Amino acid sequence: MEAFFLFLFSVPPKKERTNHNMFLSLRYSFTFLFSTLLLTLSSSSPLATKISITNHDIHSFSNAGRGNNITGISQFKRYLSRFGYIKNNDTFSNEFDANFESAIIKYQRNLGLQVTGKLDSNTVSQMITPRCGVPDTTKTHHHHNHHQNRIHNTTNFVYFPGKPRWSRDMPMTLTYGFSSDYMIHNLSIREIREAFKRAFTRWSSVIPVSFVESEDYGFADIKIGFYSGDHGDGEPFDGVLGVLAHSFSPEIGRLHLDAAETWAVDFDVTKSEVAIDLESVATHEIGHLLGLSHSSLKEAVMYPSLRPRDKRADLNIDDIKGVQSLYGSNPNFRSQWSSLESDISTNHGAKFGVDTFRFSMIGSIIAIALYYI
């Protein structure tokens, strides 16, 4: 355990990390990798969700191409299979075959990385970053109009296969409840409830769906709980970092968070270098519950990964367009489209912060009335 803490303290401070320096980013990633390795040494079967490599390996991996056979390739195959890029019947050999190359290309495209078909440092670094356990939906790329793509590159959102959504009449209300048996104790239930309330409100301010907390967990549409390891749904959690949470497509309504994470609502209070922002992950997982799959846009809430001590809870225009194409717009939201579009054209992106939300709340009564007319 001494070694574990030693590695943790070698993590560079956040200020340094945000300069997109690849070396720091990799050093940071390896740090967690070694710490998680130490924690999981006793585990006999390799975890498909965690990549383990040394500084020595990284060079041979990044130079590897089709036809090469390198020890350690199999874990990347397992990882890509776990997240939806390789069919499960693959033997996971150490051969860099054509199938593996095309899986890397799909992964790089889906994660918004430079498409090289190689295990370059950016790609490996991305694979080491903590993420959501829901597999990525590999888009079937239709005949792309490249000209159109370049201009309208704001549609990165993806649905689950078959485009499932909650099928009730609009405007609909969904209830949610917290499991009292599957809770964490480093945060109070009040802090957890408030973080989720903010997360649900982000979505309800853009679509005609409202969310109400229910005392009756058993009958709630959406059931939220913190689980450890194997918890009976075939998607075991993997301890600190790696997979952070997962949830199910409509209309299953189950949202599971990995109880092994250091969940945080305020990084000034939770100082841990492996702290994960609960509200960001909650907002992301609610997106799945509503029917959105992973976006390739790094700024989107539906992008699959989140670094420790990072926050990404404000809906991006990509998230908004995605969820509105499933449920329509919250009538109150429509009036804000024009300013939103001009924001995009000036390339600043669109974020919905407190001001927009306050405005939404003021107009909500009128909005609901208008909806019924």
Positions marked active-site: 285
Give the C-alpha separation, 373 to 369, whole Å.
7
Please state whether beta strands 254-258 and 245-247 pair in parallel, antiparallel, or not at all (unpaired).
Answer: antiparallel
The distance of closest approach from Cβ of residue 277 to Zn ion in the complex, given in angstroms and rounded to an integer, is: 14
Closest CA to 7 of 301, 289, 326, 241: 241
CA distance to 122, 196, 322, per residue, from 346 (Å): 28, 32, 21
Cα dihedral sign, 206-210-212-216: negative
Residue 254 CA to residue 267 CA, distance in Å, equals 27
In the complex, minimum distance from the CB of residue 143 to Zn ion, in angstroms, rounded to a whole number: 28
- Which C-beta is closer to Zn ion: that of 82 or that of 118? 82
Residue whose CB is less far from Zn ion, 16 or 233: 233
Window 234-263: residues binding Zn ion (CB under 5 A): 256
Q: Which of 6-14, 46-54, 74-82, 127-135 is the region at the interface with Zn ion (rule: CB under 5 A)? A: 127-135
Show contacts of 193-200: CB within 8 Å, 24+ apart. 194/265, 195/265, 195/278, 195/279, 195/282, 196/224, 196/279, 196/282, 198/279, 198/313, 199/279, 199/282, 199/283, 199/286, 199/313, 200/176, 200/286
Closest among 215, 132, 131 to 179, alpha carbons compared: 215
Measured from the CB atom, the residue of 17 and 256 that comes closer to Zn ion is 256
CB 72 within 8 A of CB 57: yes
- Rounded to a whole number of angstroms, the minimum distance from the CB of residue 255 to Zn ion is 9
Window contacting Zn ion (CB under 5 A); options: 91-99, 132-140, 266-274, 357-365: 132-140
Q: Is residue 132 near Zn ion by the rule CB under 5 A?
A: yes
| Residue number, 134 or 274, with CB nearest to Zn ion | 134
- List Cα–Cα distances, 260 to 221, 242, 324, in angstroms: 25, 11, 34
Query: How near is the Cβ of 41 to Zn ion at its closest, in Å?
Result: 25
Q: Kindly indicate which of the ranges 99-107, 231-239, 260-268, 314-322 contains the residues binding Zn ion, using the contact rule CB under 5 A.
A: 231-239
Written as six digits, the tokens of 180 are 């009292």
Q: In the complex, what is the shortest distance from the CB of residue 236 to Zn ion, in angstroms, rounded to a whole number? A: 8
Establish if 50 lies at the interface with Zn ion (CB under 5 A).
Answer: no
- The residue within the footprint of Zn ion, chosen from 230, 233, 266, 341 (CB under 5 A), is 233
Total chain residues near Zn ion (CB under 5 A)? 4
Nearer to Zn ion by C-beta: 192 or 245? Answer: 245
Tell me which stretch binds Zn ion (CB under 5 A): 1-9, 113-121, 229-237, 351-359: 229-237
Among 26, 134, 264, 313, binds Zn ion (CB under 5 A): 134
In terms of CB distance, is 188 or 228 closer to Zn ion? 228
Does residue 312 interact with Zn ion by CB under 5 A? no
φ, ψ dihedrals at 363, nearest 5°: -90, 0
| Residues lying near Zn ion in the complex (CB under 5 A) | 132, 134, 233, 256
